[in-house]
Amino acid sequence: MLPQPKALLMDLDGVVCRGMTPLPGACEAIPTLRRLGIRFAFVSNNATLTPEQNADNLRAMGVPAAPEDFVTSPLAVASYLRSVAPANASVCVIGEEGLIRALEAAGFRVDDADPAYVVVGLDRQLTYQRLVAACRGVQRGAPLVVANLDRALPVDDGLWPGCGAIVAAITTATGATPIVVGKPEPLLLQVALNRLGVAPESAAIVGDQIASDIRAGKAAGIFTILVEGDLATPVDGIQPDMRVRDLAHLLALLEEGADDPTRA
């Protein structure tokens, strides 16, 4: 049975949308959650976009989102680096605008020359020379910090290579062990819960991948909800607390729960 959460963390790709196509329940999610008094955040491993760009994309699909509704892997990467790196440290970055702007806003210098850290996110304009720069930084001793290890990115016409594919090239060349900040590690969800002011045991996460979303929720101590789909690949030893057809199905269950005084 689904408990009534105080906060719902929603993955984007595969839950709310696929590419620029909204999925069932996407347009109703924010009004429904607000009506039920449930706080929410969109939590995404996708490091390519800024919160403002994410909000613009969802609004174009009919989802009334605002930039402050998003907690993405670039924000979690910046939070992690602030906790371990000196101010104004240099970072070699493979990534797009969302990651670069988050790092610059946190006070880091994007520079390939003798970087203190190498940071990797999805980069759809990736070149061989960018891989060379990242590998050089790692070989010179810079820790490898990655936004996520997602193997694939769901888009309108199928699956594209994800950040994990880029990380695999660097680790194969260097033998480095990456520090993973996004899902399935719990830090991204912890940043979201801190922003919402909600304890893990009072929250739920809904995602479409057991290996990332559900594993991250388990690590963070959050109730986990799996959207059944083509990326819901089984993982030994990890089971979601609940399964739903899509976000619309979950919203209907939350509304039923709000009307049932026996469910807390």
Tell me whether residue 13 is one of the annotated catalytic residues: yes
Examine residue 240 and state whether it is found in any structural domain, yes or no: yes
Is residue 150 domain-shared with residue 167, that is, in the same domain? yes
Examine residue 71 and state whether it is found in any structural domain, yes or no: no
Report yes or no on whether pTM surpasses 0.75: yes
Tell me whether residue 111 is one of the annotated catalytic residues: no
Examine residue 153 and state whether it is found in any structural domain, yes or no: yes
Q: Which residue has the higher pLDDT, 198 or 4?
A: 198
pLDDT tens-place string over residues 92-106? 999 999 999 999 999
Buried b (16+ CB within 10 A) or exposed e, 62-101: ebebeeebbbbbbbbbbbbbeeebeeebbbbbbbbebbbb
Is residue 103 domain-shared with residue 169, that is, in the same domain? yes
The CATH number for 147's domain is: 3.40.50.1000
166 by DSSP, 3-state: which? Answer: helix
pLDDT of residue 25: 97
pLDDT tens-place string over residues 54-88? 999 999 999 999 999 999 999 999 999 999 999 89
Count the domains in the chain: 2
Which of the following is catalytic: 11, 69, 208, 246? 11
Query: Among the three residues 156, 180, 204, which one is the final residue of a domain in this structure?
Result: 180
CA-to-CA separations, 46 to 36, 120, 147, 166, 263, in angstroms, rounded? 28, 11, 8, 13, 34
pLDDT tens-place string over residues 212-246? 899 999 999 999 999 997 766 778 889 999 999 99
pLDDT band at residue 262 using 50, 70 and 90 as cut-offs: low
Domain that holds residue 201: 7-45+183-258
Is residue 166 domain-shared with residue 99, that is, in the same domain? yes
Query: Among the three residues 161, 180, 199, which one is the final residue of a domain in this structure?
Result: 180
Is residue 187 domain-shared with residue 174, that is, in the same domain? no
Mean pLDDT of the chain: 93
Position 19 pLDDT exceeds 90:
no
